[in-house]
Amino acid sequence: MSQNWGDKFSARVGFFKASAIRQLLSLVNDPDVISLAGGMPDPELFPKEVIAEIAKDVITNDCGKSLQYGPTEGIKPLRETLIKMTQEEIKGVTGDNIIVTTASQQGLDMLAKIFIDPGDTVIVEAPSYVGGLQALQSFQANFVTIPLDDNGIRTDILEEKLEELKRKGIKPKLIYLIPNFQNPGGVTTTLERRQKLIELSHNYDVPLMEDDPYGEIRFEGEKVPSLIELDNVGNVIALRTFSKILAPGLRLGWIIADREVIAKIGLAKQSADLCSPSLTQYIADKFIRDGHLKTYLDVVRPAYRVKKDAMLSAIEKYFPQEATWTKPQGGMFVWAGVPNNIDTDELFPEALQKKVAYVVGSAFYPHGEDKHHMRLNFTLNSPEIIEEGIKRLGNLLKTKLS
Amino acid sequence: MSQNWGDKFSARVGFFKASAIRQLLSLVNDPDVISLAGGMPDPELFPKEVIAEIAKDVITNDCGKSLQYGPTEGIKPLRETLIKMTQEEIKGVTGDNIIVTTASQQGLDMLAKIFIDPGDTVIVEAPSYVGGLQALQSFQANFVTIPLDDNGIRTDILEEKLEELKRKGIKPKLIYLIPNFQNPGGVTTTLERRQKLIELSHNYDVPLMEDDPYGEIRFEGEKVPSLIELDNVGNVIALRTFSKILAPGLRLGWIIADREVIAKIGLAKQSADLCSPSLTQYIADKFIRDGHLKTYLDVVRPAYRVKKDAMLSAIEKYFPQEATWTKPQGGMFVWAGVPNNIDTDELFPEALQKKVAYVVGSAFYPHGEDKHHMRLNFTLNSPEIIEEGIKRLGNLLKTKLS
């Protein structure tokens, strides 16, 4: 090793931030630890027989396509399927408004690449999805954070911030939002606030980046129209994924946006991976065409509701009364607040000793400013394991009360 | 549509270049056109029954892993397999020196991201791989080009250029090389020149980026040691892929390099796609573990040699005597030169009318400077179709002689 690499890397490498979640998870090798940390779907529910048969079928009968390079924008049948699905929701969408991505994380990376110059301002919810923050940060974005409450993003504070930035001559490049069952917040932005977001986006000429991995995983309450449904493809760039409605191991998502944005993503994607995996695209397409998606979601939704209920009951039973927590109507996460004398970063190693893991709240802030929350996942484990995990965590929290 | 997107995109978008190949290929919808343009393996040779059985097996028996999120650096069994394969070639390599990528195009994108600031200089072969140039260009690299001859990159000219840049106070970030059966050049860099490359890399303190998609597809002549084999993981960053030794539709590759470089790629990959597809990783791993790789390569190599021979014989028979062409010992491409009065960019639409397609030589230069070459692929079509395609092209060329 004769290289001094430090003086060769690009300036942006100095802005790369490791995912605290992935770092923490790599510590959890002890099989006795109950992990409420990850954001994984329950593999017990994967429709494995169906997917196995479909995989065998698309390889045996169409290997000239399923094992070969495909178009950058996605294989033709899957694009047709997605266009049809999208047209049910958004009028006037055509193939020029849709591109397949290697899961929505690639979508986030491509959007950061085509929009963000070093020092550009982006507005994000606080807390927000780690992977979204990482993608933006890796292209040297400056973050302005807007808090959430039980009704979603605080649009009143957003409006003040936009006005303040305007006075300073700063025009944000994007507003990054997770309106449904927010990660990690668990809350859903109300229709009224969504309409306000559209209005602000138009008034201040800032595009909305709507990340919606969980929209189809609603197990309670009424669907709220998506931002892109409310605004069409004008100012909204919508990120969707197969990771939660089918399986993350396929690494497939898609973006719906104005054709000019889709064209630029296409160019960025050519040099990022040429095309998404043809094999998994053919599997996902046949899965939907053969009508398995609805069947699978009808299994997933009630199963996750039972798990969510188990987690909320256990929190009520075992957490100290000073704790707070969100009550998600879908998705995968509960966001729990602990009394101010408890630092959830510091508590983490102790929790591991008590054989339970969560994600520290600070991971979901661009500058790690929150030390009194934790994200709890309810989709991976069984209701019994969830209760036991929450019990261990609650007992630990109670020992820390002053 | 109320957005004026042009004033919102990042500065780097102005440097994005569409792949001429992908644009040209999208014109080729006519099934009567013989395409010698793409760079696709022959799907007739894909071991589809084996892959179909393996896919069914890894989904049915291990869906908790094969359909789930995986580690950013790659699933454990595939990493073990790759480490074992690599250790046979390069001494002392450990898991810290290897990362799985979403095909080697992602490797190129990640390397450009972690090394290139706007205006940084990179040295590339001329001609060179379009996707490599695109990745570097999308991060606003400046290119210095070094010509090839039948013995590979002209290391004498490289040395002069390095000296000239040093005098100007410019330190290149990377030297990007495809030493085996170069794309598009078809030539292989000799051992002597490889040793010189290592020497220059050390003397001028510039890392070598060794892209080797075709190394295992040698059908003639003796293997030349890879740059990373000659230098170990000191100054060489090696990109490898499953696209040519198994199937491109899996989108899998890997990088071998110093642990510090691998760690930075890992951070970049977290925000690029979290992880490569678990499903295709399990398929590739089982394919190798069950011993199918050698069997498949033993089928592919002689089949491609027959196709290459068919192409060279047809060129000799049908091309004007003023033409030149390379004689590859492996890989997928022949690089053909035409007399200076013929412009291969201008000839392309006429070739399509004559029902044959190639890739224009200009696509392989950062600034499109060469107008008198074409890249011809011999792996996709049958020997008979190749002969007919070359005949059509040769007849057209002969009408253009002055």
User: In 3-state terms, what secondary structure has residue A122?
Assistant: strand
Q: Given A68, A117, A249, which is nearest B10 (Cβ)?
A: A117
B220, B111: one domain:
yes
| Residue where one domain finishes, among candidates A250, A272, A291 | A291
**Is this model's pTM higher than 0.80 or not?**
yes
| Residue where one domain finishes, among candidates B274, B290, B306 | B290
pLDDT classification of B1: cutoffs 50, 70, 90: very low
Alpha carbons A266 and A268: distance in angstroms, whole number = 5
Tell whether the model's pLDDT for residue B19 goes beyond 90.
Answer: no
Instruction: Quickly tell me which residue has 């004559």 as its tokens.
Output: B354
pLDDT classification of B30: cutoffs 50, 70, 90: confident
User: In 3-state terms, what secondary structure has residue B27?
Assistant: helix
Rounded to the nearest angstrom, the gap between the alpha carbon of residue B242 and the centroid of all alpha carbons in its chain is 12
Alpha carbons A57 and A61: distance in angstroms, whole number = 6
Q: Given A9, A116, A258, which is nearest B3 (Cβ)?
A: A258
B226, B318: one domain:
no
- List, as ranges, residues 58-77 from A with C-beta within 8 Å of B: 59-60, 63-72
Alpha carbons A70 and A279: distance in angstroms, whole number = 10
A106·B272 Cβ contact <8 A: yes
Alpha helices in B67-171 (DSSP H): 76-87, 103-115, 130-138, 155-167
User: In 3-state terms, what secondary structure has residue B367?
Assistant: coil
Q: Given B102, B248, B274, which is nearest A69 (Cβ)?
A: B248
Question: Given this model, what pLDDT does residue B178 score?
Answer: 98
Q: Given B13, B48, B66, which is nearest A264 (Cβ)?
A: B13
Q: What CATH number has the domain bearing residue A339?
A: 3.90.1150.10
| Residue where one domain finishes, among candidates A238, A270, A291 | A291
Chain A residues closer than 8 Å to B207 by CB? 3, 8
Instruction: Determine, yes or no, domain membership for A63.
Output: no
The ipTM is 0.96
Instruction: Determine, yes or no, domain membership for A219.
Output: yes
A107, A216: one domain:
yes
A249, A304: one domain:
no
Instruction: Determine, yes or no, domain membership for B75.
Output: yes
Alpha carbons B213 and A276: distance in angstroms, whole number = 18
Q: Given A56, A117, A278, which is nearest B11 (Cβ)?
A: A117
Q: Which residues contact A368 (CB under 8 A, 6 or more apart)?
A: A362
Of B179, B182, B176, B201, the residue nearest B190 (C-alpha): B179
pLDDT tens profile B148-172: 999 999 999 999 999 999 999 999 9
Tell whether the model's pLDDT for residue B2 goes beyond 90.
Answer: no
Spatial contact of A329 and A219, defined as CB atoms under 8 Å apart: yes
Question: Given this model, what pLDDT does residue B3 score?
Answer: 66
A10·B233 Cβ contact <8 A: no
Question: Given this model, what pLDDT does residue A22 score?
Answer: 67
pLDDT tens profile B77-112: 999 999 999 998 898 899 999 999 999 999 999 999
Q: What is the pLDDT along chain A (402 residues), one digit of tens a residue?
A: 456 898 899 999 998 987 776 677 666 678 899 999 989 999 999 999 999 999 999 999 999 999 999 999 999 999 999 999 999 889 889 999 999 999 999 999 999 999 999 999 999 999 999 999 999 999 999 999 999 999 999 999 999 999 999 999 999 999 999 999 999 999 999 999 999 999 999 999 999 999 999 999 999 999 999 999 999 878 999 999 999 999 999 999 999 999 999 999 999 999 999 999 999 999 999 999 999 999 999 999 999 999 999 999 999 999 999 999 999 999 999 999 999 999 999 999 999 999 999 999 999 999 888 999 999 999 999 999 999 999 999 999 999 987
Question: Given this model, what pLDDT does residue A232 score?
Answer: 82
B245, B229: one domain:
yes
> What are the tokens at B393?
């092209």
A154, A274: one domain:
yes
Question: Backbone phi, then psi, for B369, in 5-degree steps?
Answer: -75, -20
Alpha helices in A319-400 (DSSP H): 344-353, 383-399
Chain A residues closer than 8 Å to B117 by CB? 10-12
- State the DSSP string of B271-337: HHHSS--HHHHHHHHHHHHTTHHHHHHHHHHHHHHHHHHHHHHHHHHHS-TT-EE---SBSSEEEEE
Range of the domain at A85: 69-291
Spatial contact of B185 and B221, defined as CB atoms under 8 Å apart: no
Identify residue A265 by its one-letter amino acid code. Answer: I
Instruction: Quickly tell me which residue has 């003796």 as its tokens.
Output: B222
A140, A270: one domain:
yes
A326, A284: one domain:
no
Chain B residues closer than 8 Å to A55 by CB? 52, 55-56, 59, 279
Instruction: Determine, yes or no, domain membership for B60.
Output: no
Question: Given this model, what pLDDT does residue B319 score?
Answer: 98
Q: Which residues contact A216 (CB under 8 A, 6 or more apart)?
A: A244, A245, A297
Give the CA distances from residue B64 to residues A44, B60, B99, in Å, rounded to whole numbers and listed in that order. Answer: 7, 9, 22
Q: Assess A386–B contact: CB distance below 8 Å, yes or no.
A: no
Instruction: Determine, yes or no, domain membership for B180.
Output: yes
Percent of chain B with pLDDT over 70: 97
Spatial contact of A334 and A328, defined as CB atoms under 8 Å apart: yes
Instruction: Determine, yes or no, domain membership for B58.
Output: no
Alpha helices in A129-226 (DSSP H): 130-138, 155-167, 191-204
Strands A356-357 and A34-35, how do they pair? parallel
Question: Given this model, what pLDDT does residue B368 score?
Answer: 84
Spatial contact of A319 and A394, defined as CB atoms under 8 Å apart: yes
Q: Which residues contact B321 (CB under 8 A, 6 or more apart)?
A: none
Tally the residues of chain A. 402
Q: Sheet containing B236-241: which strands, arranged edge to edge?
A: B98-101, B253-256, B236-241, B208-211, B174-177, B121-126, B142-149, B152-153
Q: Which residue of A has its CA nearest to B63?
A: A48
Question: Given this model, what pLDDT does residue B25 score?
Answer: 67
Domain count, chain B: 2
Tell whether the model's pLDDT for residue B28 goes beyond 90.
Answer: no
B301, B279: one domain:
no
Instruction: Determine, yes or no, domain membership for B220.
Output: yes
A10·B49 Cβ contact <8 A: no
B37, B79: one domain:
no
A35, A109: one domain:
no
A36, A153: one domain:
no
pLDDT tens profile B174-214: 999 999 999 999 999 999 999 999 999 999 999 999 999 99
Q: What CATH number has the domain bearing residue A178?
A: 3.40.640.10
Instruction: Determine, yes or no, domain membership for B37.
Output: yes
Q: Which residues contact A50 (CB under 8 A, 6 or more apart)?
A: A287, A292
User: In 3-state terms, what secondary structure has residue B5?
Assistant: helix
